[in-house]
Structure 1
Amino acid sequence: MMHRTCFAAQAALWVGAIGALGCSSASTAEGDGNLGNSGSELLAGTDYEAEDGVCQGTVDSNHTGYSGRGFCNTNNAVGAYVEWTVSAAAAGPSSLAIRYANGTTTDRPATISVNGAVVANAQPFPGTGAWTTWELQTINANLVAGSNKIRVASNTANGTANLDKLTVDAPRDTQAPTTPQNLRATDVTSNTIALAWNASTDNVGVVAYDIYHDGNKISEAAGNATTKTLTGLQPKTEYRLTVFARDAAGNVSATSNSVPVTTSPTSDTEPPTAPGNLKASDVTNNSVKLAWTASTDNVGVTGYDVYSGGGVIVTNVQGTQATITGLAANTDYSFTVKAKDAGNNVSGASNAVSVRTGNVPPGGGVPKTITQLSSGWTIPWGLAWLPDGSAIITERESFNVYTLTPSGTKKQVGKVPNAVGTTGEGGLMGIAVDPNWSSNHHIYVMHSASEGNRIARMTFDGNALSDYKVLIQGIKKSKYHNGGRLKFGPDGYLYATAGDAQTQSLAQDKNSPNGKILRFKTDGTPAPGNPFGTLVYSYGHRNPQGLAWDSAGRLWESELGDGSQDELNLITAGANYGWPTCEGNCNVSGMTNPKKTWSTGEASPSGLAIVNDVAYMAALKGKRLWRIPLSGTSAGTPTAYYVNTYGRLRTVEKVPGQSLLWLSTTNSDFNGKEPAGSDKIFKITIE
């Protein structure tokens, strides 16, 4: 992609507010929002390299200054050409910029055609002074929606100039489909759910419907379908289903209504017998080997689950032994095992076996004591530190902001205006305190609003919030994948995580703020040194969550995967972290692998903190706190604390100047299913 800080169409869309890429400034505290309403905009130029098209000649690299892997040196003949296949999401006028070099003084004119129709006859390609001097020839032409063939063909026996690439500013469809309505289950069996919904409409056309269970896509249907039968499901299991419509440009509708459906039992209602003779051996400081005698079943055992702390810690073990890793040192554990069959019938528990893990691992950084600091919270999300040592904390669904002192005194100090929920993971999320607090008393929040996700600034006088001002708006929101973390880095600039908003293609689109880590000044404009001159600092993220810096100033990030692997990443400016091509590790050139991965059942990470170069990662679905020692750019062996003890863990933050963490739960959300006011905040001493 070709990247520009601002371009005409974007400026038109972001008049009156700082746009997603930091192109203009707000004239009012509220901001004017998106003013474009045509359903299309001119996309910043997409590059098509000559060597990736049809080159009637040779692909050479003997002259410097080209982009990509080389340039096309066409044959010296009339009609010698380069042809590109260009995709346009919508029909309309486009700009075609051809980068070329001509090291002679002789013009090398060419005929330019689009889909066989001539749009420029004998277009000049005059000398550029040297074969290493590259210039642009730009024309306008109409493209059709879908695939287009663009050809540059020589008019003379000299052939064309050396052609490097074609940059196309094509119309882009930016109008999302309407919301699918009336999602319903029409039939349910033990392993299938038949769904139906009312069709969405779109200005160009719906190409697919994406079906989600909570935040994970589990299936899709064709754009002309309004039904889908989900197969391969577990019996006696609740699925919380929603449907999104998607068009060819990747625009995604708002979510349908949510439908909770529980699959039926099978005809087999007889559970397996309980596993017997559970024994533990080979106990280390972070692992233990378990073995048991097999269960029996009238149909057949399909696997075993290992329990500890009142919940499952390892699922679907095949065979009759398992090595449990990631345990905390110097800690007592009790384990049981249960068998299950194809009908999702679960046996009784085996005998319990208790062990105590070994000594503290080298390097220390072990959570020593945990104490409840405060209760009565409902989805506490963001936490930042005020100069007096107290914390300022957001609640996601109420949009309230509180202070909490080290002694546990809680006080509401305001509510963020213009915040809205997304019936999922959006709402009032991250919060940060200005390092220059003494001179400005500014705090910063990230929240969902009517048009998308925003970053705003407010003033806090120690008692109440005021002076709401939008800094960045129009970051796409969705029911899930909103990111939301907001922190100041050691360089004094703000960093924010923005999820892909369930539109996977945005993560690889450097012109979009979604699926990115953003870095910016306190006025909302891009920070100096950003790799693309925009707000974007890194890209290729699905749902980035925690941010923390080690002692050398390196940025680490925790990230929610899709269905298989969650990630701990070391972030560098301009790097591509792979989503949606990669989830976890992959071997794709130009994409950066994570430093550690976990199954989504073990982690589903949220907050991240670093104390003395040991990282602590809060896990939601995993219901544990992960400790990961860091050594330079490497991450060591993870160990888990508080497994199934306190429920879903959301935010973890280091107390400034102390070896102490504050940790919050998120048990009042739609996954935790606890009543409002069930969440707590703890403090943890680190040794």
Structure 2
Amino acid sequence: MRGPSAPSFLLRSLALCGTLALVASCGPAGAEEGDGGVPGAPAGVTAASGSATSVHVMWNTTDRADGYEVYRGTTKVKEVPGSQHMVDVTRLRPSTLYVFSVRARGADGRLGPPGRRVRVKTPAAVADDRSAPTRPSAPRGRAVGSRAVQLSWSASTDDRGVVSYDIHQGGTKIHSVGAGRTATVLTGLRPGTRYAFTVRARDAAGNVSAATRTVRLTTPGTDDGRATAPTGFRATSHRADGAYHLDLSWVPPRVDGEVTEYRIQLDGRPATSLVFGGRAPRDRATYSFYVGRRAGATHRVRIRAMLPDGTWGGLSAERTVTTGP
């Protein structure tokens, strides 16, 4: 017996996506977000305190976005071009809980739906604090493929406590992470390009440390994709209601920001894509999808992730699965 036609396969994939509480783009690979040119909701929205009066908001890039609008509650507080997917919101109050969201704007000016609302509380203000944190030490870095680098450093100290670390490329601040982190992955870089990075520590009063020594890295001119590919990829099959399904599991690539979108390749061709709603899994992700009713059918399957900078990461290792006994 032959397997189902392509339309039947896609309909079953879409139905299964709904069952798994996944949202958007469970259709053929390459299907775009939104409707009629309106961008989709930005995924992977995060917010972290930068000081007692500032918050760093970050999100994944969105297809067809010409710009982004950042909201504090219902008030628009920032507007940035489509090439930017992070921003510092300043002039906030200490010890205050804030809610942020992000909307993408299309070239025609229409706004897409908001991404996930995220909550963050600014730390308490520290009176008469004029002492900056110590300089972060032992900065290190390495290229992770041709479009990303991994940076790490040793923690700073401060008499009132470090709140965040700012990462600079040359003289420009490009990212921030919370005080509990001493490593990050920067994506969206160009192959075969030399970069210079430094790290500074910041306390609740906004005092900033001296910069680390400069970490100089050159991204390779080619990329085999392994550094940004999902790892620990497994594939098995099961039978339910007379049909066969492939059960996949994998460890998401370690990048800075959330990985919410994946594309599955079946027998050398794009088969379906999926977007995790809510908070995406960071340790191990799982997904099942329909492949037909014929026992003894052998399939080759791989998976890749959409990185936070809007580019596709490398393909996972290929697994071969045969349906039925």
Same fold, judged at TM 0.5 (above): no
The structure with higher relative contact order (CA 8 Å, sep 6+) is: 2
TM-score range, shorter chain: 0.3 to 0.5
Alignment TM-score, normalising by the size of structure 2: 0.37
Alignment TM-score, normalising by the size of structure 1: 0.20
